[in-house]
Amino acid sequence: MKPFDVYPLFDIEPVKAQGSYIWDKNGTKYLDLYGGHAVISIGHSHPYYVQKISEQLNKIGFYSNSVKISLQETLAQKLGEFSGYENYNLFMCNSGAEANENALKLTSFHTGRKKIIAFNKSFHGRTSLAVAATDDKSIVAPINENENIVFLPMNDEIAFEKEMRNNVCAVIIEGIQGVGGVRIPTEAFLKRIKSLCEKFGALMVLDEVQSGYGRSGKFFAHQYADLKPDLITVAKGMGNGFPVGGVLISSEIKSKHGMLGTTFGGNHLACAAAIAVLDVIKNENLIENALQMGNYIMENVKSIEDVKEARGKGLMIGIELEFPCVDFRKELLFRHKIFTGSSSDKNTIRILPALNITKTEADIFLETFTKILKSQKQIV
């Protein structure tokens, strides 16, 4: 048997990582500005994180949700206090797709409806309902096709107002679109979604799987708009590499036994990892660092003549070039040993470094980026 071939792989095998760097099996060192899809929030192998997971593993690593796991209560309390959502409840799962799947299911349970509004270029996961709400036909199998979901242009208030009716159970939107090329919903648009959801009795779901946990320079990207959605989904940076996800749920949404369930969600190790991440983000002021370093990178990138556009908030940055970026990224990776990310917008490079990136590391990228851009311009 061998792995099912669904990923185009770089011929690089990381075997060690620390902070913003990884080393491959040949000992080659790379600057990691992608963090495995924005997963690495507090840096690779952070000593406090490693210590807390190790301590927990030496006690108990797993038991199911048929017993009391007080670590879930500790995590929920810390997350609520740090994010400003003390009055919400937390359902834990294992990934962003699961978080969105369960969030959308909750909206239908709560409203008794089944129509969902999502947006063009969205990405919400690969499970059945989450992938149906994802604007990418190539990953939606026939069995996942769902007539209950409609896609609208993001930031188009007129189109949105025309679609909102009493049959809508949920409007799901990313705090910042990641796969879609780092596209940002306007504050006015988010507020309009919230107001019309309240008017028609629908629920607003904020997908903060990639844009949450301090990456944007606030705990959640939607907090720039000063509103509170009904449900918020989280994952990626929540566990710094440990598989963990969750749904923050308004107290207006009532639970009942059997409504949701998970075998692995909220297990002891997942909670230990997630608690450690929150502790490090808070104690090391990483949200402030994300804001400062993100602004520094953005300001410098915008000053580069041949950059078409730079978009983002904090350390969620999309750099759009005048040409497809696939070869540009390969040169960054194979010649200059810098990991970056792509998007569905073929001209846009995604920068998603750990929240504790330093100015020295940012400068390495900026200098290299400028150098490659100048050399490619001379070739053209």
Q: Which domain holds residue 344?
A: 31-46+285-379
Are residues 278 and 318 part of one domain? Answer: no
Task: Determine, yes or no, domain membership for 22.
Answer: no
Residues 240 and 341 in one domain: no
Q: Are residues 333 and 184 part of one domain?
A: no
Do 347 and 228 have their domain in common?
no
Strands (E), the chain: 14-18, 21-24, 29-32, 89-93, 115-119, 149-152, 168-174, 203-207, 231-234, 245-249, 309-313, 316-320, 338-339, 348-351
Q: Are residues 265 and 293 in the same domain?
A: no
Average pLDDT over residues 176-184: 97
User: Is residue 160, in this structure, part of any structural domain at all?
Assistant: yes
Residue 375, pLDDT score: 82
pLDDT value at position 380?
45
**Average confidence (pLDDT) over 172-189:** 98
What mean pLDDT do residues 91-113 have? 98
DSSP 299: H
| pLDDT at site 377 | 64
Would you say residue 6 lies in a domain?
no
Amino acid residing at 294 = G
Q: What is the pLDDT of residue 305?
A: 85
Same domain, 354 and 243: no
Could you tell me if residue 77 is inside a domain? yes
Average pLDDT, the chain: 97
pLDDT (mean) for 83-103: 98
128 & 256 share domain: yes
pLDDT for the residue numbered 374: 84
* Average pLDDT of span 278-300: 98
Residues 249 and 115 in one domain: yes
Regarding whether 204 and 93 lie in a shared domain, the answer is yes
Show which of 283, 302, 322 is a domain's final residue.
Answer: 283
- Cα separation values, 56 from 49, 50, 93, 122, 310, Å: 11, 10, 19, 37, 42
CA angle 166, 229, 157 (to 5 degrees): 60
Is the distance from CB of 269 to CB of 56 less than 8 angstroms? yes
Q: Which of 255, 283, 311 is the last residue of a domain?
A: 283
Hey, is 238 helix, strand or coil? Answer: helix
> Does residue 122 carry a pLDDT above 80?
yes
**For the domain that residue 219 is a member of, what is the CATH number?**
3.40.640.10
> Last residue of a domain, which of 258, 283, 308?
283
Identity of the residue numbered 208: E
Q: Are residues 65 and 201 in the same domain?
A: yes
Domain count, the chain: 2
Across 283-300, average pLDDT: 98
Report the chain's C-alpha Rg in angstroms: 21
pLDDT tens figures, 362-375:
999 999 999 999 88
Q: In terms of domains, do 55 and 101 share one?
A: yes
Confidence class of residue 379 from pLDDT cuts 50, 70 and 90? low
pLDDT category of residue 28 using cuts at 50, 70 and 90 = very high
Residue 244 has pLDDT above 90, yes or no: yes
CATH number, domain containing residue 332: 3.90.1150.10
Q: Is 347 helix (H, G, I), strand (E, B) or coil?
A: coil
